[in-house]
Structure 1
Amino acid sequence: MRRRKHALPAWCRIVRERPEAFEREVLAENLHVRSPRDAVVALAPRLAREEVEVFLVIALNAQHRMIALQEVTRGIQNCSLVHPREVFRIAIAIGAAAIIVAHNHPSGDPAPSADDRAVTEQLVAAGRLLDLPVHDHIIVGAGSYTSFAEAGLL
């Protein structure tokens, strides 16, 4: 009897056959994230120059060192569509132990909106199911930031 190969999902084939399609910014300094401020040091230079909302995921290894920083989505001036599937696809593909998500507010005010809170709740719930914790959601504004972890919103 002949065995049939099980077809891999498309994204899995891309990761295995064409890793360049899943390239990520690998952080040369392998920054150890001990606090939200450590993550902001890596995020702020990139997010500060953006004129639209950009949603990023930081992949962490088991020692809480940044192993990758990946853009998940790019929106318009005051919103960006984010789905847990896209956030966790990246984290699972690179073998992250935990993630931090972040985005900017081009208006400069890093206060979380109702949509920011709803997305965070979705991501935290999905992370629990996948056993891939979301350690923080950071919003970067003009010279300041809001950390959901520091504010007790996680």
Structure 2
Amino acid sequence: MENIQIVSIKMVKEKNLEYENTQILSPYEGFKVLKKFIGDSDREILAVLTLDTKNKITSLTKASIGSLNSSIVHPREVFKTAILSNAATIIVGHNHPSGDPLN
């Protein structure tokens, strides 16, 4: 007889990000939240913002932390948070530590 693992999967809240409005009504609003979250990081970060059916933010996470000029991410890492937070919508964004979005 073999054993089957019984597991549970949970999201853990690490901290809060203070922001004036938690409802995203435009792409620019999503950009502002992601900019505040990623900040002036010295490495590329791919962030995932999840929203409910009323476009209110349900979670924010760093799906990938890369190097100076690249960030490799698997779709599994993007959608894991979306599924765990029962997201209706996701917004994905990343930064350019060089300051040049073309490089």
Category of TM-score, reference length = shorter chain:
0.7 to 0.9
Identical-residue share of aligned pairs (%)? 36
**Unmatched 5+ residue regions in structure 2?**
none
After TM superposition, the structure 1 = structure 2 runs for residues 2-151 of structure 1, keeping only pairs within 5 Å, are 7-8=5-6, 13-15=8-10, 19-20=11-12, 23=13, 31-111=22-102
How far has the Cα of 1:60 moved from its partner? 0.4
Secondary structure of the equivalent of 1:14? coil
Secondary structure of the equivalent of 2:54? coil
CA distance in structure 2 between the aligned counterparts of 1:91 and 1:42, rounded to whole angstroms? 17
How far has the Cα of 1:110 moved from its partner? 2.5
Q: In structure 2, give the amino acid aligned to 1:36.
A: P
Deviations, residues 77-130 of structure 1 (Å, cap 9, x unaligned): 00011111111011101111110001101111234x7xxxxxxxxxxxxxxxxx
After the TM superposition, list the runs of 4 or more consecutive aligned residues in structure 1 that deviate by more than 2 angstroms: 23-30, 45-48
Which residue does 1:124 correspond to in 2?
A: none
TM-score by length of 2: 0.80
- Greater percentage in helix: 1
Secondary structure of the equivalent of 2:87? coil
Secondary structure of the equivalent of 2:64? strand
Contact kept, 8 Å, 2:23 with 2:55, in 1: the verdict is yes
**Unmatched 5+ residue regions in structure 1?**
1-5, 114-154
RMSD of aligned alpha carbons: 2.3
Contact kept, 8 Å, 2:38 with 2:47, in 1: the verdict is no
Secondary structure of the equivalent of 2:24? coil
TM-score by length of 1: 0.56
Structure of greater relative contact order (alpha carbons < 8 Å, 6+ residues apart): 2
